[in-house]
C-alpha cells in the first residue's frame, strides 16, 4: 500500500517497489559501491529493515499560505511543501505533531512566513527546535508556550533560545539515560540503533581497550563500556558532554574517557592508537578518509566501521584493505526506509592476526 503522498513528497522514492525488489535495490547499492572501489569480492548480507512508523527524528518545513499552515517535507525537486497528512516512516507521535503544529502556528505565523522545525521523539515527549527569521520576543514566547501546552511537548526552542521545557528530553542508549542537546544527532530508529550496536559488540568482542571515533551521543560507547574501557572522540562539545554525563550516571560501566577533536583535520595517529586493541568508526556521510589512512599506518588489528554512505565507506575500506585490514561481511541496516540511503556496518581484521 502506497502513502497518499508518494510521487509528490521528496522523502520517499522507492515505495512503489515490491519488498523483494526493494531489498535487492538497497543491497545492490552497497555491492556497486564496493565494486567501484575494487572490493567486488567482499560479501554483502541481506539488509535488515527497520519497521514502518519507526523514524524518530525529522526536519519539517512550515509555511503559512492564505491563512492555513502547511507542515511537511519538500516536494520532489521543489521547494513547495507537501502538507503531510500521512507518513508510513515517522513515529506516530511525530506524525500527530503535524496536526498540532497546524492549529498552533495558525495563530502565530503571518501569511507568507516560513519556518523549519527539527523534531525528535524522545523518551519523555517531543523535542521541538524552530528556525525562523522572526526574532523571539516575550509575546512570542508566551504565545508559543500557550499554544503547545499539554500536547506532549518536552521542550521548545526558537532560534536556539528556550521557550519552554516541561521535561529534559532524553533517550535510552544501551540502558543509559542520555539527555539530548538541542538538534542532537540521533540514530534514525531505535531498532536500527540496536542492530548496529549488536554488530559492533560482536566485531569488538574480547577487546579490553577501545577507541570510539566520531562517538556522538555514545551510541556505541555506552554499549561497549559494559565490557571494555572506551575512549570516545567527538568534535561536537555538546554531544560529548551529554555522553560523558550519561557514562558518569550509569552504574556498571568500565571507565569512559572523552576527547574533543576534529578527526577530519586531526585524526588519531598510529602512535596514539598504539594502546587500543580495537577501533569503532561512525563518521558522517563524508566518511573518514584521513582517519582511515592513519588506521592503515597503525598496528590496529580490529576495526568496526559504521557508515551511512556506501560510497565513502567503500573508499575508506579500500584504504584499509590495501594496508592488510581485511573487510568482512558488510551488513546493510535500512534505517532510511523508501529512500536511496542505507546504513551499514562491517568489520576489518588485520592479516596475520
Distances (CA, A) of 299 to 274, 276, 349: 7, 9, 11
Active-site residue identified among 3, 9, 12, 308? 308
Residues in contact with 18: Cβ distance below 8 Å, sequence separation at least 6, in sequence order: none
- β-strand partners of 211: 231, 279
Q: What whole-number distance in Å separates Cα of residue 317 and Cα of residue 42?
A: 10
Report how far residue 85's alpha carbon sits from residue 350's, in angstroms, rounded to the nearest whole number.
Answer: 51
The beta-strand segments (E) located in the chain are: 48-49, 57-65, 68-74, 81-83, 114-122, 125-132, 153-158, 161-165, 170-173, 176-179, 209-213, 229-234, 256-260, 278-281, 302-307, 325-327, 331-334, 343-350
In the block, which residue shows the cell 497546524? 102
- 11: cell is 522523502
Among 172, 190, 167, residue whose Cα is nearest residue 250: 172
Is residue 308 part of the annotated active site? The answer reads: yes
For residue 129, the 8-state DSSP code is: E
Compute φ and ψ for 108, nearest 5 degrees. Answer: -115, -45
Distance of CA 7 to the CA centre of its chain: 25
Catalytically active residues are 308
Amino acid at each position: 500500500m502506497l502513502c497518499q503522498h508518494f510521487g509528490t513528497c521528496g522523502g520517499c522514492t522507492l515505495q512503489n517497489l515490491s519488498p523483494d525488489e526493494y531489498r535487492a535495490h538497497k543491497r545492490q547499492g552497497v555491492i556497486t559501491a564496493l565494486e567501484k572501489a575494487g572490493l567486488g569480492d567482499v560479501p554483502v548480507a541481506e539488509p535488515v529493515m527497520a519497521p514502518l512508523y519507526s523514524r524518530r527524528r525529522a526536519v519539517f518545513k512550515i509555511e503559512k499560505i492564505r491563512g492555513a499552515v502547511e507542515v511537511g517535507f519538500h516536494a520532489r525537486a521543489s521547494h513547495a511543501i507537501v502538507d503531510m497528512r500521512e507518513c508510513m516512516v515517522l513515529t506516530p507521535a511525530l506524525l500527530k505533531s503535524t496536526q498540532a503544529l497546524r492549529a498552533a502556528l495558525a495563530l502565530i505565523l503571518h501569511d507568507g512566513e516560513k519556518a523549519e522545525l527539527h523534531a525528535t521523539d524522545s523518551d519523555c515527549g517531543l523535542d521541538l527546535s524552530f528556525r525562523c527569521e522572526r526574532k523571539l520576543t516575550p509575546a512570542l514566547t508566551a504565545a508559543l508556550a500557550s499554544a503547545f501546552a499539554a500536547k506532549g511537548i518536552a521542550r521548545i526552542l526558537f532560534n536556539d533560545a528556550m521557550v519552554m521545557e516541561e521535561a529534559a528530553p532524553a533517550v535510552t542508549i544501551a540502558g543509559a539515560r542520555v539527555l539530548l542537546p538541542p538538534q542532537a544527532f540521533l540514530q534514525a530508529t531505535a531498532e536500527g540503533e540496536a542492530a548496529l550496536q549488536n554488530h559492533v559488540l560482536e566485531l569488538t568482542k574480547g577487546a579490553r581497550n577501545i577507541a570510539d571515533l566520531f562517538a556522538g551521543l555514545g551510541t556505541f560507547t555506552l554499549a561497549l563500556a559494559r565490557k571494555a574501557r572506551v575512549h570516545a572522540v567527538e568534535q561536537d562539545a555538546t554531544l560529548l558532554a551529554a555522553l560523558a554525563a550519561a557514562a558518569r550516571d550509569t552504574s556498571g560501566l568500565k571507565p569512559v574517557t572523552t576527547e574533543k577533536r576534529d578527526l577530519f583535520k586531526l585524526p588519531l595517529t598510529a602512535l596514539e592508537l598504539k594502546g587500543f586493541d580495537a577501533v569503532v568508526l561512525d563518521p558522517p556521510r563524508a566518511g573518514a578518509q584521513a582517519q582511515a589512512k592513519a588506521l592503515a599506518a597503525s598496528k590496529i588489528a580490529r576495526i568496526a566501521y559504521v557508515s551511512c554512505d556506501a560510497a565513502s565507506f567503500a573508499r575508506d575500506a579500500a584504504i584499509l584493505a590495501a594496508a592488510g585490514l581485511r573487510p568482512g561481511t558488510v551488513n546493510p541496516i535500512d534505517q532510511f526506509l523508501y529512500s536511496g540511503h542505507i546504513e551499514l556496518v562491517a568489520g576489518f581484521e588485520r592479516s596475520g592476526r
